[in-house]
Amino acid sequence: MKTEELKTLLEKMSLEEKVHQLMQLPGAYYQGNAEITGNMNGDQYTQEEVWEAGSVLGLYGAQALRQLQDAYMARQPHHIPLLFMLDVIHGLRTIFPIPLAQGASFHPALAERCAQAAGEEAAVSGVHVTFAPMADLVRDARWGRCMEAYGEDPYLNGEMTAAVVKGFQGEKLRDVGRIGACVKHFAAYGAPTAGREYNNVELSEHTLREYYLPAYEKGIAAGACMVMTSFNTLNGIPSTGNRWLMRDVLRREMGFDGVLISDWGAVKELIAHGYCEGSEEAARRAMEAGVDIDMASDVYGKSLLRLIREEKMSEELLDQAVYRVLTLKNKLGLFENPYKDGNGTQENIVILSEEKRKLAKEAAIESFVLLKNQDEILPLKKENKVALIGPYTDWKDMHSAWAIAGQGQDAITVSEAAALEKEFVFCSVPVEPILESYQGLSRKNGSDVQWEEALLENRKQTQEQRSAALTAAAQADTVVLLLGEHRLQSGEAASRVDIRLPERQMELFRAVRKVNQNIVTVVFGGRPLDLREISEESKALLLAWLPGTEGGNAIIEVLTGRSEPTGRLPMSLPQCVGQVPVFYSEYQTGRPAAKGEDPVFYSSRYLDCPNEPLYPFGYGLGYTSFEITVPILNRNYMSREEKILASVEIVNTGKRRGSQVLQLYIRDCVASVVRPVKELKGFQKICLNPGERKQITFEITEEMLRFHDEKGRWTSEEGEFQLWISDSCVTGRAVGFTLRG
């Protein structure tokens, strides 16, 4: 439809019809099998509202959505199509590694390919827009949605967010296989006080702008068609009613002119926050803040009409919101084709294709982080007898709680993949996890059938299983222990104060360690965990995160050495929960504790724990070794108009081809506001043959040196800087350069 036709359409619409376009109802009002991802707050909708609401969330399936669209359009007075949105977070049916794992790949182009593949499956299943990527910066391992973030660093976060937006959207939304991307949750939802879900966020504007906003901005600059508000208050004001945050920062400063949708029920929650008296005030505040769509609440439906009729709110505001929604539907081509790509025949071809499985395996392999490899116990030796033991030996649900359409049945377990090995001798002894021992794990939505089945399965675990495991461990040359969090222990509403593995799994670990010290531990989970004992007592430690449908194949590929794990930590791995939030780009403080040696008594440290995390951001091992020279600069000073080229030579000093992630860190030594000890400003992932050497160069620009000064200006200041090019945030030697007038 042409722009002027859209405007004409808007003029023809009644007030009621306009308000309906701003209502998004849960799919449960249309189909019984809808995914419910929030509290059904007892909202009441009239049949007219149900059949004229502008969009629906939580449904997928080509045939079902085509039928629903037909029924809807038959009633729609202006033939405005219904918009279908769904949480396609890391895959629809082919499940890719969780976003945190994709952050660990340090490979934005790979994440873009995964998003494109996920978008193709979603599009053919009738979905028009996904509620992804989540761009929230996360530095607190207690928060359950770490799994959905790309980590603790603003630069990595922004690169991954932009790549995923492009992967979903491509060049044009109306193109086949493309769906809209929704950058969320605006803003700073990843910094809840005490790591507790939905809790208040207190950030100075400086910290907000310096660290938490950049990734959203990169997602918007990449063309995201939608932004979602966050549940949290930001410095006492709920984001969903925050005019400064939405009108000034998001729309005016960041130039976002797409659709702003609330999170589930967040407009109504303005009342629960104690920010609005009732529905009318909530509707007005949200509309004035620029929230276009009220997701899963009846506030807009119940109150916007009255506000406008009683002239408490201008119809112009309503028209602007409705026009943005109509424009999005138009960009998706829905006026010409309300089904977009929904196609039952194609669905069977596109979904779970071999090509997508292959990509899922590639992404899983690139996301694994090898933290320890003592005596080069990995890759496994062909002649060794290997016992695979633990809950994840044959656990199919290696995906997150957000893998809405993901099915464990599609997954290849580690033991299934091992059974296909011809050159290795594996014996698998699954020791079912005792789900009850997962502290505080309550059933999601109360009706999770899988939960009941899993509990029943669990109760079968007998002492025989445990002793069979120990017998296998005693007879093996190497034991691979596959342990981890349950997938429902991370994700939304899954904050934890204890980030250790379940005690039952630690008992199993200690029992195995007594009979065999050649232990490789593979850890699954959606957040950084307290792995001190596991790390200390294992010879090798591999983080598998929640790797998705091809997790089993990917793990065997890596354990046998056919592939190399090339992930690097996107979040610091804490010593323990007491250290959290712990992240590398911290401030020096006035009394920095000397690293390692006996610290000065009065210095910034703990009495009972090192300052350093167990494993640092950007760290990870592979199956070869590299040497990286000290950076060489083509000049050691620059004006604002000039650049510096910083180069290193890297050589593969090992015996096999391997990858390395070269990371560029910069420090501003002195400035009008304190600057972090270092910040990631670039990275390049490269692969070299044994003996191969390569020069890698980074361009240092003045833009990289900017920060928000004490007046909030985005500026650089002349003076001394340090630069590293290394394989983690704690390695490499600094070289200095000067920014001068």
The site that binds ligand GLC (CB under 6 A) totals a number of residues, namely 9
Q: List the one residue out of 229, 321, 335, 334 whose CA is nearest residue 275.
A: 229
Residues 482 and 391: beta-carbon distance below 8 Å: yes
Q: How far is the CB of 94 from ligand GLC (least distance, A)?
A: 20
Which helix H or strand E contains 373, and what residues bound it? strand 369-373
Nearer to ligand GLC, 229 or 728 (CB): 229
Q: Is 263 tagged catalytic?
A: yes
> Considering the complex, what minimum distance in angstroms separates the CB of residue 228 from ligand GLC?
6
Q: Taking a C-beta distance cutoff of 8 angstroms, is the pair 37, 58 a contact?
A: yes
720 by DSSP, 3-state: which? strand
Judged by CB under 6 A, the residue of 106, 131, 583, 683 near ligand GLC is: 131
Binding mask 240-279 for ligand GLC (x = CB under 6 A): -----------------------xx---------------
CB of 492 to ligand GLC, least distance (A): 5
Q: How does 490-524 read in b/e, with b if 16+ C-beta sit within 10 Å?
A: bbbebbbeebbbbebbeebbebbbeebebbbbbbb
**Separation CA 24–CA 265 (nearest Å):** 10
Beta strands in 20-71 (DSSP E): 23-26, 55-57
CA angle 291–297–298, rounded 5-degree value: 100
CA dihedral (116, 120, 121, 126) in degrees, to 10, reads 130
Coil vs helix vs strand at 697: strand
Please count the residues of the chain.
741
Pairing of strands 519-524, 478-484: parallel
What does the alpha-carbon distance between residue 253 and residue 691 come to, in Å, rounded to a whole number?
Answer: 49
CB-wise, 131 or 623, nearer to ligand GLC?
Answer: 131
Site for ligand GLC in 455-514 (CB under 6 A): 492
CB of 397 to ligand GLC, least distance (A): 20
Please tell me whether residue 668 adopts helix, strand or coil conformation: strand
Q: Which is closer to ligand GLC, CB of 37 or CB of 549? A: 37
Helices (H) and strands (E) in the chain, counts: 22, 27
Please give the full DSSP string across 277-325, using - where no structure is assigned: SSHHHHHHHHHHHT--BEET-SHHHHHHHHHHHTTSS-HHHHHHHHHHH
Smallest distance from ligand GLC to CB 450, Å: 19
In three-state secondary structure terms, 129 is strand
Minimum distance from residue 295 beta carbon to ligand GLC (Å): 7
Strand locations in 216-295 (E): 226-229, 233-234, 237-238, 259-261, 294-295
* In the complex, least distance from residue 328 CB atom to ligand GLC, rounded to whole angstroms: 16
How far apart CA 430 and CA 434 sit, in angstroms, is 12
Q: DSSP secondary-structure letter at 621?
A: B
Q: Which CB sits closer to ligand GLC, 443 or 655?
A: 443
Distance CA 547, CA 604 (A): 38
Q: What letter would DSSP give residue 121?
A: H
Distance, CA of 689 to CA of 624 (rounded, Å): 10
From its phi and psi, is residue 663 left (phi > 0), alpha (psi between -120 and 50) or beta? beta
> According to CB under 6 A, which one of 18, 107, 142, 184 is a site residue for ligand GLC?
184
In a 3-state reduction of DSSP, which class is residue 185? strand
Return the number of the residue (217 or 492) whose C-beta is nearest ligand GLC: 492
Taking the complex as a whole, the smallest distance from the CB of residue 443 to ligand GLC amounts, in Å, to 17
Of residues 186 and 509, the one with the C-beta less far from ligand GLC = 186
| Nearer Cβ to ligand GLC (126/433) | 126
Q: Is 670 helix (H, G, I), strand (E, B) or coil?
A: coil
Residue 239 to residue 295: CA distance in whole angstroms: 14
Closest to ligand GLC by CB, 263 or 298 = 263
Q: Does residue 432 touch ligand GLC according to CB under 6 A?
A: no
We find the least distance from the C-beta atom of residue 131 to ligand GLC, in angstroms, to be 3
CB of 130 to ligand GLC, least distance (A): 9
Shortest Å distance, C-beta 564 to ligand GLC = 34
**Residue from 43, 136, 140, 263 carrying the catalytic annotation:** 263
CA 474 to chain centre: 39
Rg (CA), the chain: 26
Residues forming a β-bridge with 405? none
Q: Segment 5-44, which members bind ligand GLC (CB under 6 A)? A: 37-38
Q: Over 135-160, what HEC string results?
A: CCCCCCCCCHHHHHCCCCCHHHHHHH
Instruction: Count CB neighbours of 221 within 10 A.
Output: 15
Distance CA 285, CA 282 (A): 5
User: Do the Cβ atoms of 80 and 329 come closer than 8 Å?
Assistant: yes
Nearest alpha-carbon partner for 318 in 330, 306, 328: 306
The 73-92 contact track toward ligand GLC, x by CB under 6 A, reads: --------------x-----
CA 589 to chain centre: 30
DSSP character string of 606-617: -SSS-SS-SB-T
Site string for ligand GLC, 39-68 (x = CB under 6 A): ------------------x-----------
Of 256 and 698, which has the nearer Cβ to ligand GLC?
256
Q: Quick one: 131 or 368, whose CB is closer to ligand GLC? A: 131
Give the angle subtended at the CA of 179 by the CAs of 410 and 48, to the nearest 5°: 100
CB closer to ligand GLC out of 228 and 723? 228
Nearest CB to ligand GLC, comparing residues 264 and 323: 264
Closest C-alpha to 490, from 536, 450, 438:
438
Give the nearest distance from C-beta 58 to ligand GLC in angstroms: 7
Cβ closest to ligand GLC, residue 35 vs residue 498: 35
Least distance in Å: CB of 216 to ligand GLC? 14
Are the beta carbons of 633 and 644 closer than 8 angstroms? yes
Active site residues: 263
Q: Rule CB under 6 A: which residues touch ligand GLC?
A: 37-38, 57, 87, 131, 184, 263-264, 492
